[in-house]
Amino acid sequence: MSYFDAIILAIIEGLTEFLPVSSTGHMIIASAILGIEKDPFVKTFTVAIQLGAITSVMVLYWKRFFQTISFYFKLLAAFVPAAILGLLFSDQIDFLFERVDLVAIMLILGGIVFLFIDKIFHETEEHGQTEVTYKSAFRIGLFQVLALVPGVSRSAATIIGGITQKLTKQTAAEFSFLLAIPTMLAATGYKLLTFYLDGNTFGNDHISILLLGNIIAFIVAFLAIKSFITYLTKHGFKIFGYYRIILGVIILTLYWLGIDMQIV
């Protein structure tokens, strides 16, 4: 992996991690265009740069971490379902991550849902709640389980989960961002652990690339989150629905044409 590859992937991570468009789908296209080979470091890099992205959430919502202790327990309640099932079915999930066609199909199906979700839950936006309860937090966590399937998008699943619990779009999106912190920390820690247990080590270039990637992911995610909240509350999900469908069709077409595509 070159520094240029790292910069491109970090920008994609920062832009797509918190938008309901699937960062995995974008990584597939980027890796195919750039010709990035799937080696242990590249796999670790694409997960580890999530640290930069979630740091932007910590900076934007730092006041939330100094409020009540219940805030942490609600995050824990939402985090536990995906964490447990992710560990129990890690081998099966790894197998799914080899299915580029599955990513495309999930993008398209999720996009179709987004075309109609604003109409289905329009009353929720007008009279929605702004406080996440323990029950709603746990149910959002169940939605996050869906994101174990590549292409679903963690943010899409959890934001929709929040809306089904009668939260406003802004509240659902903000809780989704905050839930990303324990979820992505756990994913990064697990990926780094397996990287070392498999006998791999980081060279000097690797460390520099990781540092650069995290800095860029932080800056881009910081800007993306602020813009997304503003857009979502004003215009809703429909544009993301169309985008997901177009992206899914592109990936599926390239896959059927036999173009070498892989999930990095």
Question: What is the per-residue DSSP string for 28-74?
Answer: HHHHHHHT----HHHHHHHHHTHHHHHHHHHHHTGGGGGS-THHHHH
Give the pLDDT score at 263. Answer: 65
**Tokens coding 240:** 């993301």
pLDDT tens by residue, 151-200 = 999 999 999 999 999 999 999 999 999 999 999 999 888 888 888 888 88
Band of pLDDT at residue 84, cut at 50, 70 and 90: very high
pLDDT tens by residue, 51-79 = 999 999 999 999 999 888 999 999 999 99
Give the pLDDT score at 125. Answer: 67
**pLDDT reading at 264 higher than 70:** no
Give the pLDDT score at 128. Answer: 78
Tokens 């903000």: give the residue: 174
Show Cβ contacts of residue 234 under 8 Å, excluding neighbours closer than 6 positions. none
**pLDDT reading at 222 higher than 90:** yes
Which pTM was predicted? 0.90
